[in-house]
Amino acid sequence: MDTPTLGLDFGTSKTVAAWIDGERQVHLVAVGDGGHALPSAVSYQGKRGSTVLGDAAQRLSAVDPKRTVVGLKRFLGRRFRSDFVQRNRQRFLFPLVEAPDGSTAVELRGEVVSLERVAGRLLSEMIDHANAGLGRPFDACVVACPAHFTLRQRQALRRVVERCGLEVRALILEPTAAAMTLPEPAQTRTLVVYDLGGGTFDTTVLRVEEGVVHVLATGGDAFLGGFDIDARIADEIIGAYKDETGVDLNTNAQALQALNAAVERAKIELSEREVARVQFPFVDDKRGFMHVDRPMTRHDLETWAGPLFERTIGIVQETMQAAAVSMSSVDELVLVGGQTRMPYLRRRIIDALGKQPNAVVDPTTCVAVGAAVLGAGEHMLFDAVSVPLYAAVPGRPPIEVLARGAAVPAEGSAALGDNPAGVVYEAIEAAAVDRDVLARLAPPPAWREAHAGP
């Protein structure tokens, strides 16, 4: 009996897995009490290194935030001294530090622990659940990753999964994986995928022709996701509470973590009701026991988070323009990520793009299922470059070697002029502060001899 290929969606906030059996039936991996999403949280408790995972770890993040790692995918594979890590590390209470190789790590119980090791602990748990569900071990998988993951981040994710004992047969972009879950794969159509996850926003324009998926263009924002929406709401509540009481929640680590958890709960409740409450107890150094209890309406959410939602819609429109696709020619609009369950966001997407989203695709599980679909060989995929490549030489502006949207496999070239020494790097934009250097260019011996000084 052939062992199916596991589809893995290692999300910033939740991790989901699925496989397709020999009869083409989809199986979602069960975790906990019959659910299918394992919270991407790991808590290190006790002196002997006992590890708490998933829901239990997420609950511990409110009371023991310095030993509980959440949202680690945002930092996986990034250099510690990168602009992204330095700007965002203060938002999390677990101590991010620099590993010996320059990557981002976390300090736990006085030990520097690589984020790959932390991620491996979480993914091992999900793979164990999958093996139990199948009744035998999986040996291979297809892993989904954000469209804006750089080569360094993709390699880190691949290493994590391989150390868990699985062969990685392919990495697939999360929006592309979601599109693969649509029925009638032989039908020719154009798709737009809107993917607002916990850590990033991605969008992809695809063309499906007789079961072959062509990625036409990708776009997104690596700094915009559910965590950013929660932070925007939290800032409003922190300001109002300080005005009323004089207490600054930003100076109380445990209160801040409890606030973040309460904001997330209230945001989820607002998907089904008009008013929710942000409430939690905490201890202030000067005033002792205190309690935050504030109403939050859908109107509040729309006002505070609205500008972030508008940014995502603008990115979708820019990506469609890059793909030379108009909304009138789009056959399917697919929404991905738990954030897209918010009524206001769905209305704004429909109003701005003029199309009803597909109602068949489950936004919380479709990425894992799509990865499993690719692993089962039900589609052929032709991907596109999602992060451009540039060449930089002294005294000249950066030269684009491979543009975003170039069909993969791709080739590129650049005329470097009189000084071929420099670097090839990957970045969202040519002038971006965060750049991943992929290669260093050295002049050939003949050039060095010709330009050698007296």
Query: CATH number for the domain including 234?
Result: 3.90.640.10
d(CA 399, CA 454): 32
Q: Note the pLDDT tens digit of each residue in 281-290.
A: 887 778 888 8
Residue 107 within any structural domain of the chain: yes
Q: In what order do the strands lie in the sheet with 50-53?
A: 50-53, 41-45, 68-70
Residue 194 within any structural domain of the chain: no
Provide the domain count of the chain.
3
Residue 453: pLDDT above 80?
no
**Domain check: are 54 and 165 in the same one?**
yes
Residue 128 within any structural domain of the chain: yes
Q: Are 208 and 216 in contact, with CB atoms under 8 Å apart?
A: no
**Domain check: are 154 and 230 in the same one?**
no
- HSE, CB side, 13 Å, CA atoms: give it for residue 329: 11
Residue 268 within any structural domain of the chain: yes
Q: What is the mean pLDDT of residues 341-351?
A: 88
Whether pTM > 0.85 for this model: the answer is: no
Radius of gyration of the chain (CA): 23
**Domain check: are 161 and 232 in the same one?**
no
**Domain check: are 14 and 149 in the same one?**
yes
Instruction: Report pLDDT for 434.
Output: 67
Q: Note the pLDDT tens digit of each residue in 25-48.
A: 999 999 977 789 999 999 987 666
Residue 377 within any structural domain of the chain: no
Q: Which two tokens stand for residue 390?
A: 């540039």
Residue 108 within any structural domain of the chain: yes
Average pLDDT, the chain: 85
Q: Note the pLDDT tens digit of each residue in 54-98.
A: 888 888 887 788 888 988 898 999 989 888 888 888 778 889 999
**Domain check: are 73 and 138 in the same one?**
yes
Q: 276 is in which domain, residue-wise?
A: 226-302
Sequence-distant (≥ 6) Cβ neighbours of residue 358 within 8 angstroms = 182, 332, 333, 334, 335
